[in-house]
């Protein structure tokens, strides 16, 4: 008999080494997440995946499941906290969805819909983050970065290129590219790199394909992210 | 319709609307509720609004604000609404987070004015208008919740007629307004 | 600097560091000491020399406050911004110095000579206000010293020619007990432990019930045993000398005057767990102690207390390397410290796994505080039972307190655990005390009705800071200072802390400017909760402590800053019109917005 834990009162089986999030997804229970990606080890930065285990908040993407755990996830309390984390992500950057090519295909936005975020609530930082349009095929709009480091990890661990890394600290943290000029054009970045196709939000964009899909046909138009994610295994 | 009929016996709610730094798109969306507009006017009277031409907001039940706050005039109007409306609603992306106008926020407003009025080709040497009638620009375009207390938010650029209808009928009939997929969108 | 010079400098620094990419941070510190700042060329050169991606070097260079990727002056003056320094007049002194040198705070002077700014607590709270000039601590700043410093800088006097009295740092030991009292001969404790044999030594550690002095209070023997039992041969012992907690300076005194005990404690840990490598991670602010510490290490090596076959024991090989930090409080968190030791950005790791199984370069690693390690020498000398005889049941032995703030005799006090706050206050000559901040910015704010409480893990735990505030102090300002500290020091890894600490900072500034509203307090409380519950590490989860305590215990101090019971705009409306007002040259009434009351309905 496989071992199990309780997820919002439902038994969920798990295998050794599986995290709470992995096991929950496998059993058809969605846990919100942004920095976690099925093909990479957990990162643990966005904190959207927080759940409560024995009264304590933990990151479900990183914590290995244990026999008999009682996990609370889809509760008003935790969803309220998740919504507030989303609001923080919205106010720290510049997210103007109507003019963003990622709109409709964006995980941050889709999650905000799912958690019924109606307002960014907090006061906006309105940071000044110039766009890098130097590359022939790709555009970087740093205004929308949520620092999930998926591009960093993909470029380093899969593409073998190290095009990206984070620099700065705290609220001044930002994405940097691997060139003394600081320009993407001066790196060996290519449009078919995994890193060029992994950004969950609208930072790393392909030129000349913007707004290609009509409204209504985009990834999260028809179905909410909690359905899409489980269907697509992401 | 029976809901509306029942509500018709109640005194009508007074609603004011305005557009600050917005494009009237949200107002257009309100008109987009089509024939339900007739139901709506059964339930509410409009106070100050581009739909009525009343110039100042009197005591109201609901104030709908389109657009963010980009200048001193917007602040005055917004305050007038806050003072007079029991419930203040941010309608549309610009009102909720500054929207497209806020994309100027990384620019220095003084330098912008100089660029436009003084350095641009053809206007070299001209003055930045200083007419006291002209509202001064704020350094940043702000969502309205950073200037006054806001009770509800209806995002969307613009929110769909359906979303506005759902929101207003919820509110008018005393339900907690709720927007979720697919009526909730930011674009 | 030309590209050629850059490559040369980088090559030399890399050679001095064995071309080892895990020493990247040490290389950058080294290069900067020669070049003043890290130009784009230097960063490229270091990357090429170490064979690591340039962007990784840029990432590390951008993380640490004391690494500069913009040009800096020949003289860099950084005033310690801890609340105790501020209470001693640091802000006015800084303004005075800026005025004398014709510089704006945080900006490089036009001639490129000097910059003046603030930095997080430099650990000189008992002899403040303090500052760092080119990394060297300068204590007891007053107006006379400000004049003197301004003059020395204007004359371009090199630092070595400045009067050494300016740089005097005192120990200020006011109460000695088991650790600070008796003299120990180097090697004495180690010999005693070797005589006992490894098993008995660990047994003594267990008996002592020594708990970590770095803050968390984890039982040291359990940690050591876990590391010892962990699979993997290359075990590591790390001494955490990052001492970044505002108001804490006891590790500085131990490193200055009891370095032998600290290194001996590390060696005792190595003996217990079977480690061969040791690191002391020294905060950048204590860079001035480096030569002294290296000297002590050299002496111990020649005395056979470090190196191969220590004290003749075959197979007992252990040596210690000192790594410098560069201005990042989060690097005191043990997993961030390990990242930093590996030459990376100081981002805390996901736990589990814990350092005892996966630490430095994935090896089983013990991380202990300076004081914890020094204390182990007492256990080796006198046995675990004797150690456990003082203190309380759950908090054995003594604790060093770093006392500062409103009292007659600030300095280091060693007490057996269990001492009451009252007792300490009396000893240090404090009167009319309103509050005591125990454990630093991340600790507890105690109000006068709590002064009967005791310093112990089971009551008021502490890493050692003890800051005293008399009734003239504004507890709101105290909390605001701490909030600002956390916002500045957040590593930025996780959402709640990266954004939440900055939001809190903004709210506190809003209140301070006199435009707070009730709703701001509600927002502050909500953000506090998010920080506590969802942060990735202890920095974020303890960041709201001081605000939470102050809101509960000193609420009037907050309410004084409220202008409105309901709502106030998020920003200063009039200031927001200033740009356009100036550009249009207007000063008519319509060019201003009053802060009229926002009525609710
Ligand atoms: C943000 C943060 C900063 C810390 N700073 C220090 C420090 O400066 N010195 C220290 O010894 N421990 C510090 N700690 C605690 C360490 O993570 C770790 O618990 C300690 O070094 C273990 O040693 P000990 O068991 O001997 O106390 C810090 C923890 C956090 C979360
Ligand atoms: S990245 Fe996502 S949330 Fe941000 S602006 Fe684009 S669509 Fe909106
Ligand atoms: S650019 Fe995209 S993938 Fe990279 S860190 Fe930012 S949000 Fe993540
Ligand atoms: S809590 Fe703060 S310091 Fe800790 S990981 Fe998160 S951002 Fe970094
Ligand atoms: S998904 Fe777990 S922290 Fe981001």
- Segments making up each domain of chain A, as ranges: 3-74, 96-225
Contact C598 B82 (CB under 8 A): yes
φ and ψ at residue C421, rounded to 5 degrees: -60, -45
d(CA A103, CA A109): 7
Q: What is C175-388's CATH number?
A: 3.40.50.11540
Considering only the top CATH level, what class is C398-473? alpha beta
Contact C502 A46 (CB under 8 A): no
pLDDT in tens, B121-155: 776 667 888 888 889 999 999 999 999 999 999 99
d(CA A90, CA A120): 6
The structural architecture, per CATH, of the domain A3-74 is Roll (3.10)
| Choice among A175-189, B21-35, C203-217, C527-541 with the minimum mean pLDDT | B21-35
Ligand 4 proximity of C531 Cβ (cutoff 6 Å): no
With b for 16 or more beta-carbon neighbours within 10 A and e for fewer, the A84-113 pattern comes to bbbbbbbbbbbbbbbebbbbbbbbbbbbbb
Ligand 3 proximity of A199 Cβ (cutoff 6 Å): yes
> What angle do helix axes C90-101 and C143-154 make, rounded to 10 degrees?
30
**What is the residue-averaged pLDDT of chain B?**
90
End-to-end Cα, chain C, rounded Å: 64
d(CA C332, CA C330): 5
- With residues binned 3-state (H G I as helix, E B as strand, rest as coil), the percentages for chain A, rounded to 5, are 30, 15, 55
Contact B83 C599 (CB under 8 A): yes
Contacts of A219 (CB under 8 A, 6+ apart): A104, A105, A110, A228
* Partner residue opposite A170 with nearest CB, options C53, C498, C503: C498
**What is the residue-averaged pLDDT of chain A?**
96
pLDDT interval class at C268 (50, 70, 90)? very high
Chain A residues lying within 8 Å of C53, measured CB to CB = 156, 162, 165, 178
Q: Are C325 and C242 spatial neighbours (Cβ–Cβ below 8 Å)?
A: yes
- What confidence score (pLDDT) does residue C601 get? 36
Of the ligands numbered here, which is closest to the C-alpha atom of A47?
A: 5
Ligand 3 proximity of A61 Cβ (cutoff 6 Å): no
Q: Are A171 and C502 spatial neighbours (Cβ–Cβ below 8 Å)?
A: yes
| Topology (CATH) of A96-225 | Alpha-Beta Plaits (3.30.70)
Strands, DSSP E only, in chain A? 3-7, 10-14, 50-53, 56-59, 70-72, 138-140, 164-167, 174-177, 204-206
Give domain limits for chain C.
3-63, 75-170, 175-388, 398-473, 476-564
Q: What is C75-170's CATH number?
A: 3.40.30.10
Q: How confident is the model over A38-63, as a mean pLDDT?
A: 97
Q: Which protein residue's CA is at the shortest distance from atom 4 of ligand 2?
A: A95
Other beta carbons within 10 angstroms of residue C110's beta carbon come to 8
Q: Which residue has the higher pLDDT, C474 or B117?
A: C474
pLDDT in tens, C224-253: 999 999 999 899 999 999 999 999 999 999
Structure tokens at C194: 């070797």
Structure tokens at A144: 């929308």
Q: Which residue has the higher pLDDT, C384 or B11?
A: C384
d(CA A88, CA A77): 17
* CA-based nearest distance A22→chain C, Å: 16
* CA-based nearest distance B59→chain C, Å: 9
**What is the residue-averaged pLDDT of chain C?**
96
- What confidence score (pLDDT) does residue B37 get? 86
In the numeric block, the tokens 């480690």 are attached to C275
Ligand 1 proximity of C440 Cβ (cutoff 6 Å): no
Q: Are C78 and C37 spatial neighbours (Cβ–Cβ below 8 Å)?
A: no
* CA-based nearest distance A119→chain B, Å: 6
Q: What is the dihedral of CA C550, C555, C561, C562, to 10 degrees?
A: 130
d(CA C468, CA C465): 10
| Centre of ligand 5 from the C-alpha of residue A79, in Å | 14
Tell me which residues of chain A have a C-beta less than 8 Å from any C-beta of chain C. 42, 44-48, 50, 57, 59, 62, 64, 81, 84-85, 88-89, 91-92, 122-123, 125, 146-147, 156, 162-173, 176-180
- What confidence score (pLDDT) does residue C599 get? 41
Q: Which protein residue's CA is at the shortest distance from atom 3 of ligand 3?
A: A199
Q: Minimal CA–CA distance to C21: which of C58, C52, C54?
A: C52
Asked whether the predicted pLDDT for residue C363 surpasses 50, the reply is: yes
Kindly state the greatest CA–CA separation across chain A: 58
Asked whether the predicted pLDDT for residue B7 surpasses 80, the reply is: no
- What confidence score (pLDDT) does residue B180 get? 84
Which residues face A175 on adjacent strands?
Answer: A166
In the numeric block, the tokens 């305005």 are attached to B18
Ligand 2 atom at minimal distance to the Cα of residue A102? 7
Burial class (CB in 10 A: 0-12, 13-18, 19+), A217: exposed
Q: If you write DSSP's letter for every residue of C211-259 in order, what string do you get?
A: B-SSSS--BHHHHHHHHHHSS-S-EEEEEEE---STT--HHHHHHHH-H
| Centre of ligand 3 from the C-alpha of residue A205, in Å | 11
CA distances from B93 to A114, A119, B21, B90 (A): 18, 9, 11, 9
Which residues face A58 on adjacent strands?
Answer: A51
Contact B106 A128 (CB under 8 A): yes
> Ligand 5 pocket by C-beta < 6 Å: which residues?
A 33-36, 44-49, 59, 61
| Centre of ligand 4 from the C-alpha of residue A147, in Å | 13
Contacts of C580 (CB under 8 A, 6+ apart): B109, B110, B113, B136, B137, B138, B139
* Partner residue opposite B110 with nearest CB, options C576, C582, C596: C582
Chain A residues lying within 8 Å of B184, measured CB to CB = 113, 116, 118
In the numeric block, the tokens 């320009």 are attached to A183
Here the ipTM equals 0.98
Structure tokens at C427: 């000893």
Contact B181 A224 (CB under 8 A): yes
Q: Are B85 and B77 spatial neighbours (Cβ–Cβ below 8 Å)?
A: no
Contact C570 B146 (CB under 8 A): yes
Give domain B3-102+136-172's CATH number out of 3.30.70.120, 3.30.1490.190, 3.90.440.10, 3.40.50.700: 3.40.50.700
| Topology (CATH) of C476-564 | de novo design (two linked rop proteins) (1.20.1440)
Asked whether the predicted pLDDT for residue B2 surpasses 70, the reply is: no
pLDDT in tens, A89-126: 999 999 999 999 999 999 999 999 999 999 999 999 99
d(CA C19, CA C23): 8
């Amino acid at each position: 008999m496989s071992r199990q834990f309780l997820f919002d009162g439902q038994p969920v089986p798990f295998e050794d080494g599986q995290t709470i999030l992995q096991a929950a997804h496998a059993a058809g229970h969605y846990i919100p997440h942004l920095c976690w990606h099925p093909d990479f080890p957990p990162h643990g930065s966005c904190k959207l995946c927080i759940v409560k285990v024995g009264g304590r908040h933990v990151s479900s993407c990183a914590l290995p499941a244990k026999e008999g755990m009682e996990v609370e996830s889809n509760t008003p309390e935790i969803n309220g906290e998740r919504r507030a984390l989303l609001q923080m992500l919205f106010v720290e950057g510049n997210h103007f969805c109507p003019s963003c090519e990622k709109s409709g295909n964006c995980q941050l936005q889709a999650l905000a819909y799912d958690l019924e975020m109606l307002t960014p609530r907090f006061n906006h930082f309105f940071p000044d983050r110039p766009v890098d349009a130097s590359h022939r095929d790709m555009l970087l709009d740093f205004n929308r970065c949520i620092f999930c480091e998926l591009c960093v990890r993909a470029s380093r661990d899969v593409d073998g290129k190290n095009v990206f890394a984070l620099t700065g600290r705290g609220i001044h943290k930002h994405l940097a590219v691997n060139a003394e000029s600081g320009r993407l054009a001066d790196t060996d970045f290519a449009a078919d790199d995994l890193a060029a196709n992994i950004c969950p939000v609208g930072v790393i964009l392909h030129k000349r394909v913007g707004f290609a899909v009509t409204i209504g046909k985009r990834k999260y138009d028809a179905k909410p992210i909690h359905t899409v994610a489980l269907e697509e295994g992401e | 319709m029976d809901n509306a009929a029942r509500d018709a016996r109640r005194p009508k709610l007074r609603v004011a609307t305005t557009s600050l730094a917005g494009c009237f798109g949200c107002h257009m969306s309100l008109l987009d509720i089509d024939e339900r507009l007739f139901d709506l006017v059964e339930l509410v009277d409009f106070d100050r609004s581009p739909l009525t031409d009343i110039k100042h907001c009197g005591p109201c039940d609901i104030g709908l604000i389109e657009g963010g706050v980009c200048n001193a005039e917007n602040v005055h109007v917004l305050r007038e609404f806050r003072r007079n409306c029991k419930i203040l609603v941010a309608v549309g992306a610009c009102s909720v987070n500054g929207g497209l106008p806020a994309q100027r926020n990384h620019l220095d407003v003084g330098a912008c004015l100089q660029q436009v009025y003084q350095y641009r080709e053809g206007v070299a040497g001209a003055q930045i208008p200083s007419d006291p009638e002209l509202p001064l620009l704020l350094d940043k375009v702000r969502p309205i919740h950073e200037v006054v207390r806001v009770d509800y938010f209806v995002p969307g650029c613009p929110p769909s007629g359906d979303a506005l209808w759902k929101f207003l009928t919820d509110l008018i009939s005393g339900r907690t307004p709720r927007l979720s997929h697919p009526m909730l969108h930011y674009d | 600097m030309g590209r050629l010079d850059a490559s040369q400098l980088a090559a030399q620094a890399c050679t001095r560091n064995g071309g080892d990419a895990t020493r990247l941070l040490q290389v950058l510190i080294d290069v900067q000491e020669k070049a003043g700042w890290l130009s784009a060329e230097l960063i490229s050169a270091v990357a090429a020399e170490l064979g690591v991606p340039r962007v990784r070097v840029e990432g590390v260079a951008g993380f640490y406050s004391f690494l500069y990727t913009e040009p800096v002056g020949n003289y860099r003056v950084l005033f310690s911004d801890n609340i105790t320094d501020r209470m001693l007049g640091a802000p006015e002194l800084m303004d005075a110095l800026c005025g004398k040198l014709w510089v704006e705070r945080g900006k490089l002077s036009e001639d490129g000579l000097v910059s003046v700014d603030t930095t997080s607590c430099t650990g000189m709270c008992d002899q403040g206000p303090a500052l760092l000039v080119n990394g060297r601590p300068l204590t007891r700043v007053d107006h006379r010293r400000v004049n003197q410093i301004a003059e020395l800088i204007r004359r371009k006097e090199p630092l070595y020619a400045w009067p050494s009295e300016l740089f005097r740092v005192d120990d200020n030991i006011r109460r000695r007990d088991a650790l600070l009292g008796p003299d120990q001969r180097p090697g004495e404790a180690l010999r005693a432990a070797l005589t006992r044999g490894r098993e008995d030594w660990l047994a003594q550690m267990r008996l002592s019930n020594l708990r970590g002095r770095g803050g968390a209070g984890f039982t040291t023997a359990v940690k050591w045993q876990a590391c010892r039992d962990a699979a993997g041969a290359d075990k590591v012992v790390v001494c955490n000398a990052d001492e970044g907690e505002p108001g804490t300076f006891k590790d500085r005194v131990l490193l200055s005057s009891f370095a032998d005990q600290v290194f001996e404690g590390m060696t005792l840990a190595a003996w217990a767990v079977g480690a061969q490598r040791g690191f002391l991670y020294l905060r950048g602010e204590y860079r001035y102690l480096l030569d002294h510490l290296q000297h002590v290490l050299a002496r111990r090596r020649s005395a056979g207390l470090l190196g191969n076959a220590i004290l003749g024991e075959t197979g007992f090989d252990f040596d210690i390397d000192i790594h410098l930090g560069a201005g990042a409080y989060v690097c005191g968190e043990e997993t961030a410290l390990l990242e930093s030791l590996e030459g990376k950005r100081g981002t805390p790791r996901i736990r589990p796994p814990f350092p005892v199984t996966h630490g430095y370069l994935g090896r089983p690693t013990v991380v202990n505080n300076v004081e914890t390690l020094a204390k182990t020498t007492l256990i080796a000398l006198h046995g675990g039972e004797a150690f456990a005889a003082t203190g309380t049941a759950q908090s054995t032995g003594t604790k060093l307190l770093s006392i500062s703030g409103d009292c007659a005799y600030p300095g280091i006090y060693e007490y057996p655990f269990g001492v009451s706050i009252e007792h300490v206050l009396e000893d240090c000559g404090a009167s009319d005390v309103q509050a005591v901040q125990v454990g630093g910015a991340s600790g507890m704010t105690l109000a006068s009705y709590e002064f009967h409480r005791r310093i112990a893990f089971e009551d008021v735990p502490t890493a050692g800071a003890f800051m005293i505030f008399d009734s003239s102090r504004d507890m709101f300002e105290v909390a605001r200072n701490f909030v600002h500290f956390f916002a500045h020091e957040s590593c930025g890894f996780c959402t709640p802390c990266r954004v939440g600490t900055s939001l809190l900072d903004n709210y506190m500034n809003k209140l301070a400017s006199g435009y707070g509203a009730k709703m701001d307090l509600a927002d502050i409380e909500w953000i506090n909760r998010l920080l506590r519950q969802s942060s990735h590490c202890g920095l974020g989860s303890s960041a709201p402590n001081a605000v939470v305590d102050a809101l509960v215990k000193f609420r009037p101090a907050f309410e004084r800053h409220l202008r409105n019971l309901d709502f106030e705009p998020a920003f200063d409306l009039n200031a927001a019109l200033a740009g356009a007002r100036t550009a249009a040259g207007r000063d008519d009434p319509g060019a201003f917005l009053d802060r009229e009351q926002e009525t609710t309905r």
